[in-house]
Amino acid sequence: MRIGILGGSFDPVHFGHLLLAETCREQCRLDEIHFLPAAAPPHKMHRVLTPASHRLAMLRLAVAGHEAFRVSSLEIERGGVSYTVQTLREVHARQPDVEWFFLMGADSLRDLPTWREPDEICRLAIPVVVRRAGAPAPDLTVLSGIAAPERLETIRHSQVEMPVVEFSSTAIRQAVAAGRSIRYQTPRAVEKYIETSGLYRQQEFG
């Protein structure tokens, strides 16, 4: 099995998340994509997230019907700050025979050396660096002192290019708070869930 992990706050999930996951699934020939909403992302400690129950419910609505998409509550159940290395150790322990891929944007790649135990992250999973169509190839030299040479070569061949899309969870929250439409920015089921649950009507943006 080849499984990709896509982490994030998903507050809310939008079509950009789904397109990224599907592009990675196809280009990297992945059997499954696991969406892992964070309990408390270390880079978003300044903002109070929507309760996990809502974020999980919206994700499940968004991926319903896609046979390769799964929603994992692993980080939510663990609670606290969500560190990637902890999550990768846990999924390895649960499914040691799986080849794991960690999906990330080119901007996150630049920050990876500052993450907790970046060398262990590269050992436990293959970072799949996603860049926008037309953008230059990511600079993988930031990993030269972290990943073993053969691992670095695998990472180099696991890059993904996806169409340019402009979706943002922050923009969706702002639109809802302002009473504007969010149609075609997130699946219709998620849009209706936001409406019926009264989410984002008053929101701190970040």
pLDDT of residue 89: 97
| pLDDT at res. 43 | 59
Structural domain boundaries in the chain: 2-167
Q: What does the pLDDT read at residue 45? A: 54
Alpha-carbon torsion (164, 88, 31, 40), positive or negative: negative
Are 105 and 127 in contact, with CB atoms under 8 Å apart? Answer: no
pTM of the model: 0.92
CATH topology of domain 2-167: Rossmann fold (3.40.50)
190 φ/ψ angles, rounded to the nearest 5 degrees? -70, -40
Provide the 10 A C-beta neighbour count for residue 33.
24
Instruction: Tell me which amino acid residue 50 is.
Output: T
pLDDT of the chain, 206 residues: tens digit per residue: 999 999 999 999 999 999 999 999 999 999 999 999 998 766 555 678 999 999 999 999 999 999 999 999 999 999 888 899 999 999 999 999 999 999 998 888 999 999 999 999 999 999 999 998 888 888 899 999 899 999 999 999 999 999 988 899 999 999 999 999 999 999 999 999 999 999 999 755 44
